[in-house]
Amino acid sequence: MIKAIRGTRDLLPPDTALWNFVEKTVREVFGAYNFQEIRTPIFEATELFARGVGEETDIVSKEMFTWEDRGRAQSEKNQLLTLRPENTAGVVRAYIEHNLQQRGLNKLYYIGPQFRRERPQKGRYRQFYQIGAEVIGPASAGSESPARDAEVLELLATLLDRLGIRDWSLRLNSVGCANDRAAYNEALRKALEPVVSEMCEDCQRRAVTNPLRVFDCKVPEDQPIIEKLPRISQFLDEGCRKHFEQVQAILKSVGVPFTLDDRLVRGLDYYTRTAFEFTHGALGAQNAILGGGRYDGLSESLGGPSAPGIGFAIGEDRLVLALQESAEAVLRTPDVYIAPLGAGMDREAARLARELRHHDLVVELGDENFRLKKSFETASKVGVRYVLIVGENEVKSGSYALKNLETGEQVSVPRAELAGKIQAK
Ligand code: HAM
């Protein structure tokens, strides 16, 4: 038997109804904040992620699905391509390629699959789905303002509440700007020098190439050392500190609760200033339901114009896991099962089903070859409340036997009143 590849999975009903519920709510909420959808390709040039996300990140150094694509003509060079591990780099590439700066502030969102070669476990997959948004544009359009950071965070609080997710918490930090980073990296290097030989191999390399990435280390023995390293909060310059204070002040004024965590640096290199994660209690080890932050220099590092931006991505798989407890509420079971009774009744039943569906009822249609007993058994498996019998007598009289499976009551209802009766419940 051929099975789905480890780390990928099929999404089956009834779970897909939850996914649809999430995506519908997301589109409504994003719409209310005036975000518009963008769709970028699922694979891109490897260089985009190497330059955008950063060579030394776990994502780029260990987790990308990359292959060499043969050039078609002899003169064409082979190209390294990668299944996107995240969507921010792709959005910023599109921003540059299509001159989106001309539109001023761009508020874009996406929903789609991403790919990372991680060790699969509950809540962590090799193909997973993200719901993300990016606010990006020239500084003159207000893209740098702390008001944008706060608006994005407030949107997320609203969205999680609308979805019925209560048990979330927001961890917030500022990772500073290029100025701060240089001084901070220097301090980290110094602090790491005497202890780095006791750390894991990855950290020994990171200490030289990109010391900030030491914070991504998951090796338990390294944690006491990392705990004692200097924190970025001590290195923020005046501008970054003020920016961060303003973000916090707006959040307080709109009533979005948060906790400060100056160890939070996020696993992607492009972040500047505000960085954040939302976690959820019920998720266990993989409890980061979403993450994001500001990336004011990303466009330039991809060869584009200055375009400050801020965004986030929600792990949709994890969001759905967190929602699963309240799944019942969003599943819509069919309203009525139509049981055609006897030869020639499929035709009549189909007409009646068409009529009822026009009234926005969910109708499951049976089969004239089924005995009545089998129709009732099928109907209760489907979970409907009503069974509607379509036999020769009913068709002749224009009045139909409607049985309520919950109460056992059966009544005869004229055709014109059927939809109303079923809707009334
Ligand atoms: P990220 O933190 O790498 O950020 O991913 C965002 C979210 O995607 C995570 O919090 C998690 O819920 C989900 N996720 C990541 N990896 C997996 C996986 N293997 N299986 C299931 N879910 C996963 C980004 O991707 C940034 N592009 C976010 C961003 C947008 N920053 C600014 N704009």
Q: What confidence tens digit (pLDDT) does each residue in 15-57 have?
A: 999 999 999 999 999 999 999 999 999 999 999 999 999 999 9
216 Cβ closer than 6 Å to some ligand 1 atom: no
Rounded to a whole number of angstroms, the CA Rg of the chain reads: 28
Q: Are 331 and 289 in contact (CB under 8 A)?
A: no
Measured at the CA of 310, the angle between CA 112 and CA 242, to 5 degrees, comes to: 160
**Reported pTM:** 0.91
The confidence score (pLDDT) of residue 138 equals 98
CA 316 to centroid of ligand 1, rounded, Å: 9
Render 85-129 in DSSP notation, one character per residue: S-SHHHHHHHHHHTTGGGGSSEEEEEEEEEE--PPPBTTB-SEEE
Q: Average the pLDDT over each of 280-289, 298-307, 341-350 and give the range with the smallest value.
A: 280-289
pLDDT band, very low/low/confident/very high, at 333 (cuts 50, 70, 90): confident
Residue 425 confidence (pLDDT) above 70: no
Q: For ligand 1, what atom is nearest to the CA of residue 123?
A: 21
CA distance 420 to 425: 9
Q: Are 11 and 316 in contact (CB under 8 A)?
A: no
Residue 326 confidence (pLDDT) above 70: no
Q: What confidence tens digit (pLDDT) does each residue in 369-388 have?
A: 999 999 999 999 999 999 99
pLDDT band, very low/low/confident/very high, at 91 (cuts 50, 70, 90): very high
124 Cβ closer than 6 Å to some ligand 1 atom: yes
Q: Average the pLDDT over each of 174-178, 201-205, 278-282 and give the range with the smallest value.
A: 278-282
- Taking CA atoms only, the protein residue closest to ligand 1 atom 1 is 291
Three-state DSSP state, 274: strand
Helices 146-163 and 15-32, interaxial angle, to 10°? 140
Residue 415 confidence (pLDDT) above 70: yes
The confidence score (pLDDT) of residue 327 equals 59
The confidence score (pLDDT) of residue 424 equals 87
Q: What confidence tens digit (pLDDT) does each residue in 16-25 have?
A: 999 999 999 9
Q: What is the mean pLDDT of residues 59-86?
A: 92
CA distance 212 to 273: 14
Q: For ligand 1, what atom is nearest to the CA of residue 318?
A: 12
Closest CA to 298 of 137, 155, 107: 137
Q: What confidence tens digit (pLDDT) does each residue in 130-170 have?
A: 999 999 999 999 999 999 999 999 999 999 999 999 889 99
Q: What confidence tens digit (pLDDT) does each residue in 93-130 have?
A: 999 999 999 999 999 999 999 999 999 999 999 999 99
Q: Are 339 and 387 in contact (CB under 8 A)?
A: yes
280 Cβ closer than 6 Å to some ligand 1 atom: no
318 Cβ closer than 6 Å to some ligand 1 atom: yes
**Summary mean pLDDT of the chain:** 95
The confidence score (pLDDT) of residue 249 equals 98
